[in-house]
Structure 1
């Protein structure tokens, strides 16, 4: 094979791969949805619920979270509120203990072991048929618990994901960005066709049976979904269950959060390769590859497309045009990342967000291959 043909193959395979990861997969889900529809059969119910709030050095936010939680309209005698403290060293634990008369329990880790380790201690201390997990920074509407629990009237549902909504510093709810709308659209498609591939870590719920083999070193939202599938259950998205949390105003912190999320996600994926068996897990095996692995491989395809295009540019005006288009896309992305003087037009921000996401994924792969496994945590200060 000549160099030209090799570069030609790399270019078109790379472009096709990126297109499939972000467009082809949802298009196929839409096509499957014409023939396969799995609606969630919701019904009001009040099983015993254990709400687990994970905290590490949250003395500035834990009071607001507990006050928000105590305003839930769920029957108080059916709600067990537990704060899982990952060996906090500030005043978090004392503040939680002060809410003891209101029925709030503190489960403190003796040794700092990370978010999932703290959650494991809390899970073992509860008896609720439904376990709900929420971060300290996430605020819930009064009917949130009642709303998310309704999904478990469907016996096929093992876990439920909420919708994330951002709140600005002035307390107003931010408009949904293109990426958030895309993700919510994709979750709705997956729910309709089969099952979700991931949950929102800030607010999700699961049956106790799904949480029995809780892994203290694996990303809990992703792993809980995979455990549901292993048990023959599914994860669903509930657009009426909403978690509100503040935007991260520091781009560097948002970048680091994304890197941590992907490193932890890759760790779960690599320990769950048996779920890629299509003969046992059928449609989900394809979903897991498409939604997770393909997304995580997009940065390499982007590099391949750009490098091959640079070689092909001298062969025709078409490839000169595609190279100019790629260069323009990355130029806009870099401009938005390094300056705030450009007009705040949503469609012009998409390149910067897309590039930042994929750079963070590439960074995560490098860290993972170096042996980095993120277990300990420090919550993002929003």
Structure 2
């Protein structure tokens, strides 16, 4: 039985290390190996585009968003706009309709989703109304750089590229410990994705800004977000999902931990399935680097919740076998106590913030698992007011 404890300890330790440290180090190394491999752009590629904005009760930001997208730098005869209002019950629809009346020269359409089933369902419905070659999707609270559409379209330099994600920059990264922690995490994430993109394909996008060929759009079920499912869908079809970090969207990060926690819980609403959603991913001979990317970037991270529990329990059972196990157990207890200290005292300290933010991330995974098991996982969520 003791041998089993050793195995569980080592496996869980490996998953945590590889998901949070090892994989990112390996990607940095690969980035140096493939330093001469660049993503090509073709700025003469200017197909017809529809920019889709999904909104639910976004009266605070929707007018600014509309003014933003109609002033994007792109041939006016090749760009259209559609707002998919996901059963909004505030003034969102009124504001959009008024904007359409005041801007008759802009090709803007409002689609009202009658039953709220979340962002993905709203996108599925609105996509049926799109007749352009490409579809760009963006969140209501994201402000796009004026050249973002031009950049996204330039990235579709070959038929094998089916998805392009832009870069999300946080406007308030330095305004608080929560936004700082999220900003720091996201900066590292962007560097990893840039290298994955250059080598082959990314494992996930972001909801603030991304594009796909309209003919290749797929109706995912409402619980599945495009962020994680579109890149995987195209990768398994032998296509590429890449990122262009010159296509920029600006957004506020969550400034209070409750908002950030809710967002992370929502992100984990399908965590059990996403650990290994398709056995084909393991076929490294067919999918090459993507198999490696998904295991390190997704599978290991989606296993953090259970890995920490297994590591703690197996370590406790081995604590008297060696001074090494005694030290590692003390280290784990100290780590969680530091997170608790931060939660109770709100002390501002860089290292405490990192420990606390990481712990919140793992707890959010546990809540996501609980919601799945109890049937409480939903395709929609309440927006974070601190990001508006």
TM-score using structure 2 length: 0.88
Is contact 1:299-1:358 (8 Å) kept?
yes
Change (3 A) 1:230 1:12: closer
1:55 and 2:55 are equivalent in the alignment: yes
Matches of 1:156 and 1:193 in 2, distance apart?
A: 14
Matches of 2:199 and 2:20 in 1, distance apart?
A: 17
CA offsets, 1:66-88, max 9 Å, x none?
A: 11112211122111111001121
SS in 2 for 1:127: coil
Matches of 1:16 and 1:273 in 2, distance apart?
A: 21
Q: What runs of 5+ residues in structure 2 fail to find an aligned partner?
A: none
Q: What runs of 5+ residues in structure 1 fail to find an aligned partner?
A: none
Q: Which residue of 328, 338, 341 maps to 2:334?
A: 328
Is contact 1:219-1:265 (8 Å) kept?
no
Change (3 A) 1:116 1:348: same
1:236 and 2:242 are equivalent in the alignment: yes
Is contact 2:164-2:244 (8 Å) kept?
yes
Which residue is 2:233 aligned to? Answer: 227
Give 1:352 shift: 0.9
1:248 and 2:246 are equivalent in the alignment: no
Equivalenced residue count is: 377
Matches of 1:139 and 1:151 in 2, distance apart?
A: 20
User: Which aligned pairs between 1:212-361 and structure 2 lie closer than 5 A?
Assistant: 212-264=218-270, 266-267=272-273, 272-278=278-284, 280-340=286-346, 342-345=347-350, 347-361=351-365
TM-score using structure 1 length: 0.89
Change (3 A) 1:122 1:185: same
CA offsets, 1:91-130, max 9 Å, x none?
A: 2112111222233210112322221111112111112212
Matches of 2:92 and 2:273 in 1, distance apart?
A: 30
Which residue is 1:368 aligned to? Answer: 372
Matches of 1:269 and 1:121 in 2, distance apart?
A: 28
Is contact 2:368-2:377 (8 Å) kept?
no
Which residue is 1:84 aligned to? Answer: 84
Change (3 A) 1:334 1:9: same
**Which moves more between the two structures, 263-272 or 104-113?**
263-272
Matches of 1:229 and 1:338 in 2, distance apart?
A: 44
**Which moves more between the two structures, 372-381 or 243-252?**
372-381
SS in 1 for 2:207: coil
Which residue is 1:94 aligned to? Answer: 94
Matches of 1:26 and 1:179 in 2, distance apart?
A: 12
**Which moves more between the two structures, 367-376 or 141-150?**
367-376
SS in 2 for 1:356: helix
Q: Which residue of 129, 148, 152 maps to 1:148?
A: 152
Give 1:266 shift: 4.5
